[in-house]
Amino acid sequence: MHSPFDPALADLLNRPLSIAGKPVRNRLWLAPMAGLGHIAYREVLEEYGGCGLLFSEMCSAKAVPTENNRVSPVFRWREEELDHLVCQIVGATPEEMIPAARRIEDEGFFGIDINMGCSVPGIVKRNAGAALLREPEMALRVVEAVRKEVDIPLFLKFRTGWSPEVEPAAELARRFESAGVDCLVFHPRVAPDKRTRPPVMDHIRSIKEAVSIPVFGNGDVVVAEDCRRMLDTTGCDGVSVGRMAMARPWLFAQWTAGYEPGQDCFRDYAIRLADLLDHYYDPIRALKRYKLFTVYFAANFTFGHSLQSKFLAAKNMDDIRYVARHHLRPGMQLASRPNMNLYNT
């Protein structure tokens, strides 16, 4: 876990960057995800530091205009994070997206992220997320409508599409830029792929070469060497980290500033996240959110399946804390690379 600090990587990640004229802290960002980048997790992440931009979990564009942000499970934030927090929304039509975009800008978010990467059946069935990549004209209408409505930076996360050729994705990237997108986050896998095959890193280069706006690479960045390789081989402007950010939230501070976590880092993280989930959510939702997280956390350990099963057996958050206190100890055997098979879903 304690890989040597790479000053050259830190220099790459700490180069100045602005999105639509707004400066960002560095080029290592939290990826937009569903169900994981919630307010409790983001608070833990901020305590370690080092993350250039935060992205909210996936919010339904239909729900955002009327959500009460004091109680909403997803459209929720701390005031102190708003100036570096991008709100991720998913929807199928301009009519759904426009009121959501207005609300997000009015609340003071750094920017808006349109999700065109999620390929879970419930989202695709509604012609949202990655389904929009099947209908480029509708995808562009969505982008144009949001761009016309707001002035804050507009991000878009997308995949290669529904076929493995990258040329249609590169052409779409050019059209997204023309429609007013300020930054692309690109995951180089076809939409139906549940991470059963490795991402095609060359495709990030193809997207980068197609546009003049910043392009952030995403996909299977597990250790610092992966991050450096992605930057060096694709020419992307920065790196967006998802699942590994859940497994080890200190990696942002580690890779950008040489932070080294203490020997109790896993136990402390597990307990802190439990406490914050308890603070922000009702007991049932807190437990559900925690169990969703455990697969990423357990992947750190050689015997992660056994650890995860203990967390999954918990009946309440006190049980969760008991598992964390009694089964997470210094010196536990760590996988050299977290076990990706645990969370290939």
Q: Do 249 and 314 fall within a single domain?
A: no
Q: Do 163 and 304 fall within a single domain?
A: no
Query: What digits encode the pLDDT tens for the residues 179-217?
Result: 999 999 999 999 876 666 788 999 999 999 999 999 999
Indicate whether 299 belongs to any domain. yes
For the question of residue 118 being annotated catalytic, the response is yes
Closest residue by Cα to residue 117 from 236, 231, 6, 240: 240
Closest residue by Cα to residue 180 from 93, 238, 112: 112
Query: What digits encode the pLDDT tens for the residues 211-230?
Result: 999 999 999 999 999 999 99
Closest residue by Cα to residue 104 from 153, 168, 37: 153
* Inter-CA distances, 227 with 38, 155, 220, 265, Å: 24, 21, 9, 22
In 3-state terms, what secondary structure has residue 239?
strand
Q: Left if phi > 0, otherwise alpha if psi is -120 to 50, otherwise beta: which for 126? A: alpha
Binding-site residues for FMN, in ranges, read: 32-34, 88, 157, 187, 242-243
**The predicted structure's pLDDT at residue 43:** 98
Domain end call among 232, 257, 282: 257
Q: What is the CATH number of the domain that holds 47?
A: 3.20.20.70
In this structure, what are the phi and psi dihedrals at residue 40, rounded to the nearest 5 degrees?
A: -70, -45
Q: Do 210 and 305 fall within a single domain?
A: no
Q: Do 104 and 203 fall within a single domain?
A: yes
Q: Do 246 and 311 fall within a single domain?
A: no
Integer Cα distance of 306 and 84 in angstroms: 37
Q: Do 19 and 127 fall within a single domain?
A: yes
**Interior/surface letters 255-279, b for 16+ CB within 10 angstroms, e for the rest:** bbeeeebeeebbbebbbbbbbbbbe
Domain end call among 257, 278, 312: 257
Assigned token pair, 204: 């990030």
CB 238 within 8 A of CB 29: yes
Q: Do 100 and 212 fall within a single domain?
A: yes
Q: Do 139 and 93 fall within a single domain?
A: yes
**The predicted structure's pLDDT at residue 340:** 63
Q: Do 164 and 231 fall within a single domain?
A: yes
Gap between the terminal Cα atoms of the chain: 24
Which residue positions in the chain have pLDDT lower than 50? 1, 344-345
Kindly state the percentage of the chain with pLDDT values over 70.
96
Assigned token pair, 84: 């570096």
Catalytic hit among 87, 118, 183, 227: 118
Q: Do 236 and 295 fall within a single domain?
A: no
**The predicted structure's pLDDT at residue 97:** 98
**Max Cα separation, the chain?**
55
Count how many domains the chain has: 2
Q: Do 120 and 249 fall within a single domain?
A: yes
**The predicted structure's pLDDT at residue 29:** 98
Integer Cα distance of 218 and 204 in angstroms: 9
Domain end call among 233, 257, 281: 257
Indicate whether 20 belongs to any domain. yes
Q: Do 127 and 29 fall within a single domain?
A: yes
Q: What angle do CA 133, 137, 138 make, to 5 degrees?
A: 75
**The predicted structure's pLDDT at residue 344:** 47
Indicate whether 302 belongs to any domain. yes
Range of the domain at 284: 265-343
